Amino acid sequence: MDAAQVGRVVEQLRRESGLTQTELAARMGTTQAAISKIETGRTLPSLTVLERAARAVGKPVTLTLGQPSRRLSRRERAARVRRVLGDYEFNPWDRDPSRAEAESLLADGLTRERFAR
């Protein structure tokens, strides 16, 4: 079980409990940023932190170790994104980027015209 899988378990428990990341963080005595890092798999929480999360949501945290895991293919990840975002396409020029951001977009070939389609 990797950090991303543990994060998904924590996120699921939090959502089932009807809590926001901020509310869970307050109950655990930590920050929203710390909860975000756990849920996104950027941080692998210690057993102590998992125990605090379980107490905060009032439910046990159940992790299954040794279970084979399969990484999603690029196509499967893209399909998940399409299901969530639908036809939405992010246009970085809509938010009036700063001069430095605009230069970075142009350096990457992301012109206004490319998004005007």
Whose tokens are 């012109």? That residue is: 111
Query: Which among 29, 38, 34 has a CA at the least distance from the CA of 4?
Result: 38
> DSSP secondary structure string, 75-115?
HHHHHHHHHHHTT----GGGG---HHHHHHHHHTT--HHHH
Q: What whole-number percentage of the chain has pLDDT above 70?
A: 99
Task: Return the pLDDT at 117.
Answer: 67
Interval 60-117: pLDDT, tens? 998 888 877 778 899 998 898 888 888 888 899 998 899 999 999 999 999 999 888 6
Please name each of the domains of the chain with its CATH number: 3-57 (1.10.260.40), 74-115 (no CATH)
Q: What is the mean pLDDT of the chain?
A: 91
